Amino acid sequence: MLNDHERELKAQALDWFDAHRDEYVRDLIRWASVPSVSDASAARPGEPYGKGVADMFEQIASTAADYGFVSVNHDGYAMSVYANEADKSSTSDIAILSHADVVPAGPGWLSEPFQPYERDGYVVGRGVHDDKAMCVLAVFLMRFLREQGITLDHTLRLMYGGAEETGLHDMEHYVAEHGAPYRTLVTDCGFPVNYAQKGEITFECALPLPAAIESITAGVAPNAVPGEAFMVARLSDGGIAGDGTAGDATDSANGKNEAAIRALADYLASGTDDGGSFELESSDDGRVRIKAIGRSGHGAVPQLALNAVHVLAEKLAADDDPALSADARAFLAALDRWIVPPFGDGFGFAFEDEDTGKTTCNLGVVTTDGRELKLTFDIRYAVTQSADDIMAAIEQSVAAAGGRMLNHTVDKPYYVPKDNWEVTTLVAAYDDVTGIHAEPFSTGGGTHSRVVPRSINFGPGFPEDPESIVKLTEAGLIAPQPTFVTNGGAHGANECMSVLDFRNAFPIFVIGLLRYDAALSDHE
């Protein structure tokens, strides 16, 4: 439990945050207004990830200077913030590491994704939850410690990566060039402590398209579940004309195949059993354009979203589909088996272990190049599973489908024993500050802890299992879900964060950092 000094410090931290709440929201909105999508293809000298990330680093430096802190831009790959010039030379530092880049906005937003706003205690905008709310909170943590006159045995340093969402190359480069911080708290996950992360495989393959399908497109990033998918095709009876939407197709301009377009519109109007829906257009040249609507989400947990490519493929592969030829339906059926269930069953690498649970498989991006369909998958594999076995199964499946492999990357799993002193110290800090016990957890998500030695994942999200949500809500530690936006999760449309949640995370970081600092001294 908290001692008397810690109880007083917790109260001070909450009071201080409340007094500076408006500043926190203001800074978060400023930071989230920067479209810091990492794009190595747009690299320029000093800007390896393009203008968006470079602009974000400038915003971080400006905010740090406003509060009297010192920043260092590490060649555009990462950035550090220190309390003063002297701290820059420390070799005994504790870094709080967040990431300043975000995934692309994607479709389905009810507002402009890079025009964030606050409503009902929530801030809405791309990147506010992952990870800019924490980016800003770290600055406020440094402010609080300075204003309270709190000193640590080790130097506090804030770090910001510029390409976490696109493969962790930012901190890989930093560590290779400068070495890792003495110790690192990675704040891009959840409380109390994330002790294990699945390995990650990203691969791209190409399949030949059947004649009836001209194109399929979906997705903005491998690690996001597509919320919309589009297909352009020709009907099996030779084409249609006219425009319409599912359930209300208009007559074709030249009167041909009116029955066919109405039959297809009626068929799509019923949607899918899992909540998918459709929009339909047709043109004078005999093509139809079908939009499938699912539910976007994070690619690490595809089972919590609804992949729009699955919505499209499942519906149009069915035997009662009045639109497509038999070979086109067979193609879509085979594709759908790779998508659902989203655990690799269709490729033959389904696996589960005790620490990290089921391996997951997300089809994140679909493009069309000539007569080939290009597919990019994001796999999060269990810590005890072999990446080589997975790749062998994938290569066999792609070859059997008449396709070809284009490329793949592998990131190894992350694992720290549950009884490690860092884990137990930080779990106890969370338990004592909240008064609610939570177990360290594993995840399919990948953070900088994979590539930064001597790092541990700590916050900022609260546990999301049903029992914890009830307890945390009753204790007033987390806010109920907003009613004015749908979805709202990281990597999804209408991404949002609760100011109350981060307010209550603030004293956890204060107490957790102080205890970690002291425990680190004891273990040196």
Question: d(Cα 446, Cα 14) in Å, to the nearest integer?
Answer: 30
Q: What is the pLDDT of residue 287?
A: 81
Check whether residue 221 and residue 173 sit in a common domain.
no
Check whether residue 190 and residue 207 sit in a common domain.
no
Contact (Cβ atoms closer than 8 angstroms) between residue 212 and residue 264: no
Check whether residue 56 and residue 155 sit in a common domain.
yes
Query: Tokens 């320029």 map to which residue?
Result: 44
Q: What is the pLDDT of residue 320?
A: 82
Check whether residue 334 and residue 386 sit in a common domain.
yes
Average pLDDT, integer, range 402-408: 98
Q: What is the pLDDT of residue 488?
A: 86
How many folded domains does the chain comprise?
Answer: 2
* Number of Cβ within a 10 Å radius of residue 396: 12
Check whether residue 148 and residue 250 sit in a common domain.
no
In the predicted model, what is the mean pLDDT of the chain? Answer: 94
CATH code: domain of residue 39: 3.40.630.10
Helices (H), 111-168: 133-147
Each residue of 25-60: pLDDT tens digit? 999 999 999 999 999 999 999 999 999 999 999 999
Average pLDDT, integer, range 446-472: 96
Average pLDDT, integer, range 77-91: 97
Q: Under 8 Å CB-to-CB from 123, ≥6 apart: which residues?
A: 25, 28, 29, 32, 116, 117, 133, 496, 497, 499
Q: What is the pLDDT of residue 260?
A: 75
Among 79, 78, 47, residue whose Cα is nearest residue 70: 79
Contact (Cβ atoms closer than 8 angstroms) between residue 311 and residue 276: yes
Check whether residue 244 and residue 172 sit in a common domain.
no
Task: Identify the domain containing residue 96 by its residue range.
Answer: 4-198+414-522
Q: What is the pLDDT of residue 510?
A: 99
10 Å CB burial of residue 497 (0-12, 13-18, 19+) is buried
Contact (Cβ atoms closer than 8 angstroms) between residue 506 and residue 141: yes
Q: What is the pLDDT of residue 284?
A: 65
Cis peptide before 322 (omega within 30 of 0): no
**Is 451 a residue whose pLDDT tops 90?**
yes
Check whether residue 288 and residue 301 sit in a common domain.
yes
Check whether residue 187 and residue 205 sit in a common domain.
no
- pTM, two decimal places: 0.82
Q: What is the pLDDT of residue 237?
A: 53
In 180-227, beta strands by DSSP E: 183-186, 189-190, 194-197, 199-208, 213-218, 224-225
Check whether residue 345 and residue 298 sit in a common domain.
yes
**pLDDT bucket at 236, cuts 50 / 70 / 90:** low
Point out the domain boundary residue: 411, 431, 463.
Answer: 411
- The Cβ-side half-sphere exposure at 332, using a 13 Å CA radius, reads 27
Helices (H), 148-250: 169-178
Q: At what angle do helices 4-19 and 499-522 cross, to 10 degrees?
A: 140
Cα–Cα distances (Å) from 138 to 57, 59, 248, in that order, read: 15, 15, 52
Radius of gyration of the chain (CA): 25
Q: Under 8 Å CB-to-CB from 307, ≥6 apart: which residues?
A: 225, 226, 294, 339, 340, 342, 362, 363
**Is 286 a residue whose pLDDT tops 90?**
no
Q: Under 8 Å CB-to-CB from 5, ≥6 apart: which residues?
A: none
How many angstroms separate the most distant Cα atoms in the chain? Answer: 83
**Is 247 a residue whose pLDDT tops 60?**
no
Question: d(Cα 487, Cα 521) in Å, to the nearest integer?
Answer: 43
Q: What is the pLDDT of residue 397?
A: 98
Check whether residue 337 and residue 476 sit in a common domain.
no
Each residue of 88-100: pLDDT tens digit? 999 999 999 999 9
Point out the domain boundary residue: 411, 428, 443.
Answer: 411
Average pLDDT, integer, range 318-342: 92
Contact (Cβ atoms closer than 8 angstroms) between residue 356 and residue 383: yes
Q: What is the pLDDT of residue 228?
A: 97
Q: What is the pLDDT of residue 259?
A: 74
CATH code: domain of residue 394: 3.30.70.360
**pLDDT bucket at 258, cuts 50 / 70 / 90:** confident
Point out the domain boundary residue: 345, 380, 411.
Answer: 411
**pLDDT bucket at 446, cuts 50 / 70 / 90:** confident
Question: d(Cα 192, Cα 295) in Å, to the nearest integer?
Answer: 28
Average pLDDT, integer, range 442-471: 95
**Is 241 a residue whose pLDDT tops 70?**
no
Check whether residue 61 and residue 119 sit in a common domain.
yes
Q: What is the pLDDT of residue 432?
A: 99
Check whether residue 306 and residue 404 sit in a common domain.
yes
**Is 363 a residue whose pLDDT tops 90?**
yes
Q: What is the pLDDT of residue 257?
A: 62
Each residue of 177-193: pLDDT tens digit? 999 999 999 999 999 99
Q: Which residues pair with 118 in a beta bridge?
A: 123
Q: Under 8 Å CB-to-CB from 270, ≥6 apart: which residues?
A: none
Average pLDDT, integer, range 122-130: 98
Question: d(Cα 255, Cα 349) in Å, to the nearest integer?
Answer: 50
